[in-house]
Structure 1
Amino acid sequence: MANKIIGIDLGTSNSAAAVIQGGKPTLIPAAEGTTAAGKAFPSYVAFTKEGDLLVGEPARRQAVTNPDNTIFEAKRKMGTSHVYKIQNKEYKPQQISAFILQKIKKDAEAFTADKITKAVITVPAYFDDNQRQATKDAGTIAGLDVVRIINEPTAASLAFGLDKAKQDMKIMVFDFGGGTLDVTIMEMGGGVFEVMSTSGDTQLGGSDMDKAIIDHVVEEFRKKEGIDLSGDSTAMTRVREAAEKAKIELSTVMETEVNLPFIANDPSGAKNLQVKLTRAKLDDLVKSIVERCKTSIDKALEDSKLSTSEITRIVLVGGPTRMPIVKKFVEESIGKKPESGVDPM
Structure 2
Amino acid sequence: MKQMGKVVGIDLGTTFSAIAHVDDDHAQEVIVPNAESARITPSVIMFEDDNSIIVGDVAKQNAVAVPEQIVEFVKREMGKSKEDFFREFDGKAYSAEELSAQILLKLKQDAEAYLNTEITDAVITVPAYFRDAERDATRKAGKIAGLNVLQVLNEPTAAALAYGIDIHGSDQTCFVFDLGGGTFDVTIMKVSGSNLEMIATNGDHRLGGKDWDDKIITYVAQQFEEEHGENPLQDLHAYQDIQKNAISAKVELSRRPRARIVCQYNGKSSRVEVTKEKFEELTADL
TM bracket (short chain)? 0.7 to 0.9
Is the partner of 1:82 in helix, strand or coil?
coil
Shift in CA distance, 202/132, structure 1 to aligned 2, threshold 3 Å: closer
Q: TM-score normalised to the size of structure 1?
A: 0.69
Shift in CA distance, 230/139, structure 1 to aligned 2, threshold 3 Å: closer
Alignment-mate amino acid for residue 126 of structure 2: V
Q: Is the 8 A contact 2:14 2:182 kept in 1?
A: yes
Is the partner of 1:241 in helix, strand or coil?
helix
- Give CA deviations for 1:55-77 in whole Å, capped at 9, x if unaligned: 23444455566566544443344
Structure 2 distance, partners of 1:143, 1:53, is 16
Counterpart among 237, 240, 243 of residue 240 in structure 2: 237
Q: Is the 8 A contact 1:182 1:201 kept in 2?
A: yes
Aligned to 2:275: 278
Alignment-mate amino acid for residue 277 of structure 2: A
Q: Is the 8 A contact 2:101 2:142 kept in 1?
A: yes
Offset of residue 239 of structure 1: 1.8
The reply on whether 1:190 has 2:193 as its aligned counterpart is: yes
Is the partner of 1:234 in helix, strand or coil?
helix
Alignment-mate amino acid for residue 164 of structure 1: I
Structure 1 distance, partners of 2:230, 2:257, is 25
Is the partner of 2:274 in helix, strand or coil?
strand
- Give CA deviations for 1:265-313 in whole Å, capped at 9, x if unaligned: 65xxx74x54333322221221111xxxxxxxxxxxxxxxxxxxxxxxx
Q: Is the 8 A contact 2:66 2:237 kept in 1?
A: no
The reply on whether 1:40 has 2:40 as its aligned counterpart is: yes
Which 10-residue stretch deviates more, 201-210 or 114-123? 114-123
Correspondence list, 1:143-162, <5 A? 143-162=146-165
Higher strand share: 2
Q: Is the 8 A contact 2:249 2:261 kept in 1?
A: no
Q: Is the 8 A contact 2:127 2:154 kept in 1?
A: yes
Aligned to 2:30: 26
Structure 1 distance, partners of 2:218, 2:281, is 13
The reply on whether 1:200 has 2:200 as its aligned counterpart is: no
Shift in CA distance, 258/138, structure 1 to aligned 2, threshold 3 Å: same
Aligned to 1:74: 74
The reply on whether 1:139 has 2:142 as its aligned counterpart is: yes
The count of aligned residue pairs is 279
Offset of residue 210 of structure 1: 0.6
- Give CA deviations for 1:74-116 in whole Å, capped at 9, x if unaligned: 3344444335362333434332222111100112123334333
Q: Is the 8 A contact 1:255 1:276 kept in 2?
A: no
Q: Is the 8 A contact 1:78 1:94 kept in 2?
A: yes
Alignment-mate amino acid for residue 44 of structure 2: Y
Structure 2 distance, partners of 1:79, 1:222, is 37
Counterpart among 119, 122, 143 of residue 119 in structure 1: 122
Which 10-residue stretch deviates more, 4-13 or 207-216? 4-13
Shift in CA distance, 199/47, structure 1 to aligned 2, threshold 3 Å: same
Is the partner of 1:288 in helix, strand or coil?
coil
Aligned to 2:19: 17
Structure 2 distance, partners of 1:13, 1:219, is 25
Structure 2 distance, partners of 1:120, 1:18, is 10
Structure 2: state its 5+ residue gaps: none
RMSD, aligned α-carbons: 3.0
The reply on whether 1:96 has 2:93 as its aligned counterpart is: no
Offset of residue 259 of structure 1: 4.5
Structure 1 distance, partners of 2:92, 2:218, is 36
Is the partner of 1:131 in helix, strand or coil?
helix
Is the partner of 1:230 in helix, strand or coil?
helix
Aligned to 2:7: 5
- Give CA deviations for 1:209-251 in whole Å, capped at 9, x if unaligned: 1111122223334455666433343333222111111212222
- Give CA deviations for 1:2-44 in whole Å, capped at 9, x if unaligned: 444321111233322223445543333333465xxxx832333
Structure 2 distance, partners of 1:54, 1:80, is 23
Is the partner of 1:102 in helix, strand or coil?
helix
Which 10-residue stretch deviates more, 279-288 or 230-239? 230-239
Structure 2 distance, partners of 1:108, 1:24, is 16
Which 10-residue stretch deviates more, 69-78 or 159-168? 69-78
Q: Is the 8 A contact 1:243 1:258 kept in 2?
A: no
Structure 1: state its 5+ residue gaps: 290-345
Structure 2 distance, partners of 1:85, 1:287, is 33
Q: Is the 8 A contact 2:97 2:140 kept in 1?
A: yes
Is the partner of 1:18 in helix, strand or coil?
strand
